[in-house]
Amino acid sequence: MVNIVHCPVDDRLIHGQVATAWLPHTNANLCLVVNDSIAVNDDKRLLLQMALPEGIQLRYFSVEKSLR
């Protein structure tokens, strides 16, 4: 069972406050990004992964796939 600890809706995706404060504060080990552009672009996904603290996994989905 998945335990969702924080669910921001934000067009900035992964930004400094999420990466440095919220993820460690909530003890999250997974960050989900729902964005059509990110879902199909390897370079953008790599940049987002680099923004996350070590040990945090990144998953990304298109809007359509996330609604299923």
Residue 61 located in a structural domain: yes
pLDDT tens digits, 27-55: 888 888 889 999 999 999 998 898 888 88
The answer as to whether 11 is a domain residue is no
More confident: 53 or 14 = 53
- Residue 3 domain flag: no
Residue 10 counted as domain residue: no
Number of domains in the chain: 1
Residues constituting the chain: 68
> Is the pLDDT reported for residue 1 higher than 60?
no
Kindly state the average pLDDT of the residues 10-27. Answer: 74
Quickly count: other Cβ atoms within 10 Å of residue 45's Cβ: 17
Q: Is the pLDDT of residue 6 over 80?
A: no
57 DSSP β-pair partners: 30
- φ, ψ dihedrals at 58, nearest 5°: -120, 130
On whether residue 47 sits in a domain, the answer given is yes
Helical residues (DSSP H) of the chain, grouped into ranges: 16-17, 23-26, 36-39, 42-51, 63-66
Q: Which residues are catalytic?
A: 15
Supply the pLDDT for residue 2: 64
> Is 9 part of any domain?
no
Structural domain range at position 41: 16-66
Q: Is residue 53 part of a domain?
A: yes
- Structure pTM? 0.73
